[in-house]
């Protein structure tokens, strides 16, 4: 099983696939100026939950793109079940290769998926900025190191993670101004990590003879160890609302 297939298993109980909370997602949308018929593009949209929340609260129209067929299918099912199929469209593909029309969206979002682009956060905000109209906003969800003394053995496993001040530096270097930040707390992290563990554990109970069982057990154990040993202490995560510089 590759990493995304393991995610299909572990994320069954999660709608938002990040250590955050629906209220924070709505606050980010409000600060970004979402309103009726705002056009929002969401890169790496997962199960479409952010677009669904924003469509219900603000009446936006959304376009989401995700590389995982199972995520796209689940997103489309939920969108339909909420009667939002005329407001939200989901495309299955590589966000970094999607050819959007420049300056055609009011708000561009990428929540926990800047790794879609080879150069991560910096390339993501550059591309997102191309997608928005003058006066538009970006919403980015990103992990960062919350301490400067991250053990080398853990830091080496996560080469794309950086300090929050470095995210700010990169955003400014791309001509963006930070206008709002919503940090995640330990409860957000516990919820996200624990629901992933529960998804894996329940799958193992339901699939006693599955040929990939050992891989799933290994992933479960590594996830437990990584979170309790390092992640809880050294990982931060936040939603950033950005606008082109003044
Ligand atoms: C951490 S999840 C976040 C999903 C969603 N934004 C949310 O907050 O619930 C990252 C998502 O990025 C998707 N993804 C990974 N690589 C991608 C790529 N190159 N293009 C589009 N989506 C990608 C994964 O399938 C996954 O659903």
DSSP class per residue in 46-81: TTSHHHHHHHHHH--EEEEEES-HHHHHHHHHHHHH
Q: Is residue 177 part of a domain?
A: yes
Residue span of the structural domain in which 54 resides: 16-185+236-244
- Our count of domains for the chain comes to 1
User: What does the angle CA 204 – CA 75 – CA 35 come to, to the nearest 5 degrees?
Assistant: 140
Q: Is residue 198 part of a domain?
A: no
Q: Is residue 1 part of a domain?
A: no
Q: What percent of the chain has pLDDT over 90?
A: 96
Closest ligand 1 atom, residue 110 Cα: 6
Which of 13, 25, 44, 114 maximizes ligand 1 atoms within 8 Å of its Cβ, making it the mutation to test the pocket? 44
What per-residue confidence (pLDDT) applies to 115? 97
What per-residue confidence (pLDDT) applies to 171? 98
In this prediction the pTM is: 0.97
Q: What percent of the chain has pLDDT over 70?
A: 100
Say if residue 116's pLDDT is above 90: yes
What's the burial of 21, exposed, middle or buried (CB within 10 Å: 0-12/13-18/19+)? middle
Say if residue 246's pLDDT is above 80: no
Q: Which of 129, 67, 69 is nearest to 103 (CA)?
A: 129
What per-residue confidence (pLDDT) applies to 120? 97
What per-residue confidence (pLDDT) applies to 132? 98
Residues with CB under 6 A from ligand 1: 4, 16-18, 44-46, 49-50, 65-68, 71, 94-96, 111-113, 116
The alpha carbon of 246 and the centre of ligand 1 are apart by a number of angstroms equal to 31
- b/e per residue 159-196 (b: at least 16 CB within 10 A): eebbebeebbebbeebebeeebebebeeebbebbbebb
Residues paired with residue 238 on neighbouring β-strands, in sequence order: 142, 183
In order of 45, 107, 186, the CA distances from 51 in angstroms are: 8, 11, 25
pLDDT digits (tens, 9 = 90+) for 52-102: 999 999 999 999 999 999 999 999 999 999 999 999 999 999 999 999 999
Q: Is residue 107 part of a domain?
A: yes
Q: Is residue 47 part of a domain?
A: yes
Identify each DSSP E strand in the chain by its residue range: 39-43, 61-66, 88-92, 105-111, 132-145, 176-183, 235-244
The alpha carbon of 46 and the centre of ligand 1 are apart by a number of angstroms equal to 5
Q: Is residue 203 part of a domain?
A: no
* Region 184-207 average pLDDT: 98
Confidence of residue 174 (pLDDT cuts 50, 70, 90): very high
Residue with the nearest Cα to atom 7 of ligand 1? 17
What per-residue confidence (pLDDT) applies to 113? 98
| CATH classification of the domain holding 135 | 3.40.50.150
Q: Is residue 193 part of a domain?
A: no
Q: Is residue 24 part of a domain?
A: yes
What per-residue confidence (pLDDT) applies to 39? 98
Closest ligand 1 atom, residue 117 Cα: 19
Say if residue 20's pLDDT is above 80: yes
């Amino acid at each position: 099983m590759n990493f995304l297939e393991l995610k299909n298993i572990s994320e069954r109980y999660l709608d938002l696939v990040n250590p955050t909370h629906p209220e924070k997602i709505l606050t980010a949308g409000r600060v970004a100026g979402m309103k009726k018929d705002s056009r929002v593009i969401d890169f790496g949209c997962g199960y479409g939950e952010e677009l669904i929340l924003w469509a219900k609260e603000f009446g936006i129209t959304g376009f989401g793109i995700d590389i995982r067929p199972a995520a796209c299918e689940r997103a489309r099912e939920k969108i339909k079940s909420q009667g939002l199929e005329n407001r939200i469209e989901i495309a299955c593909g590589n966000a970094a290769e999607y050819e959007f029309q420049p300056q055609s969206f009011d708000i561009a979002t990428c929540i926990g998926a800047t790794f879609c682009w080879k150069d991560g956060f910096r390339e993501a905000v550059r591309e997102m900025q191309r997608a928005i109209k003058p006066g538009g906003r970006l919403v980015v969800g990103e992990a960062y190191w919350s301490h400067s003394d991250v053990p080398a053995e853990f830091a080496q496993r996560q080469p794309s993670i950086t300090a929050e001040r470095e995210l700010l530096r990169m955003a400014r270097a791309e001509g963006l101004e930070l206008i709002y930040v919503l940090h995640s707390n330990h409860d957000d992290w516990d919820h996200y990590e624990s629901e992933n563990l529960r998804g894996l554990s329940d799958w193992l109970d339901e699939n006693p003879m599955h040929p990939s069982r050992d891989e799933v057990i290994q992933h479960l154990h590594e996830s437990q160890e990584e979170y309790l040993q390092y992640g809880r202490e050294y990982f931060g995560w936040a939603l950033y609302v950005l606008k082109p510089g003044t």
